Structure 1
Amino acid sequence: MKRNIISVVVGLVSAIVVFVIAETINSSLHPTPQTLDYNDSIAVKAFYDNQPLTLWLLVLVGWIIGSALCGFLIKLISKNENKKLPIVAGSILTLSAIANFFSLPHPTWFIIVGLIIFIPSTFLGHKSYKLKSNGG
């Protein structure tokens, strides 16, 4: 049980690190104007509405890679096939994205993809690690 909890925590932390790296790259490619007032919701919405597709795609790539790494580490550390663990982690990541959707404007298509991407990506990473069998 302890190993399962540790695996999920480590997986989630690693996913967040990947997300931050993707956001950092995004910030250098698509810098926010220093004059943008985040208290002005109309200006913030206008800024995000005018962002290129590459900004949103880079965020999604970061989310996919981070979630897959999370699932991989869960299986590596927990050393079991428990499919509930990547569901828990993917659900936590989905909930964090929902909180993000409420804090900043996002295109509708991005929100839809964001709602469905975490659990499958976490499962993909979980499935990609093969546990060694005792028989061979």
Structure 2
Amino acid sequence: MFKRILAVVGGLFFGVITITIVEKLGSYLFPRPVGIKDNDMEALKHYVETAPLMALLFVILGYALGAFVAGFFSTKIADDGKKTYAIICGIIFLLQGIYMMYILPTPIWFWILGIAVWGFVLAGYKLALNKKQ
């Protein structure tokens, strides 16, 4: 039982680290206007409405890579071949992503990609199984 919980927690941990790194890279390449703080929702809403396309794509890229990494590590940690842990990670990240897209005004294409990329947990799961052999 402990190993199953650790698989989900570990998958989430490595997924969050991956998302953070990609989003930091995106913020470095496409910085927000000076003075916008993470806790200023009105300023963040305005920024997202006017952000360059590439800045938003880095968020989607972070979600996709985070999903892949979460699926991979949750499967490796569980070490039982089940995709349950990868799917749990994907669902948790999906719900968090939907919440963020709800509170920030993102375009419809962002919603579509932001939901679809969480399927990459299954690609991470498959790669983890292939690396086992």
Partner amino acid, structure 2, of 1:76 = K
Partner amino acid, structure 2, of 1:3 = K
Q: 1:82 to 1:55 in 2, by over 3 A?
A: same
Partner of 1:117: 117
Contact 2:71/2:87, CA 8 A, preserved across alignment = no
Moved over 4 A (4+): none
Provide the identity percentage. 30
Contact 1:22/1:59, CA 8 A, preserved across alignment = yes
Matches of 2:64 and 2:114 in 1, distance apart?
10
Partner amino acid, structure 2, of 1:47 = Y
Partner amino acid, structure 1, of 2:68 = A
1:1-136 counterparts in 2 under 5 A? 1-36=1-36, 38=40, 41=42, 44-118=44-118, 120-129=119-128, 130=130, 132=132
Q: Tell me the CA shift for residue 106 of structure 1.
A: 1.4
Q: 1:71 to 1:44 in 2, by over 3 A?
A: closer
**Count of equivalent residues:** 130
Q: Tell me the CA shift for residue 4 of structure 1.
A: 1.3
Matches of 2:131 and 2:26 in 1, distance apart?
35
Matches of 1:71 and 1:28 in 2, distance apart?
27
The structure that has the greater radius of gyration is 1
Partner amino acid, structure 2, of 1:48 = V
- TM-score after normalising by structure 2: 0.86
**Larger fraction in helix:** 2
Matches of 1:44 and 1:69 in 2, distance apart?
27
Q: Which consecutive unaligned segments of at least 5 residues does structure 1 have?
A: none
RMSD: 2.0
Q: Tell me the CA shift for residue 81 of structure 1.
A: 1.6
- TM-score after normalising by structure 1: 0.84
Q: Residue by residue, what CA displacement relative to the aligned partner does 1:1-57 show, whole Å, maximum 9, x if unpaired?
A: 211110110110111111111121121122222244835x3x544422222221121
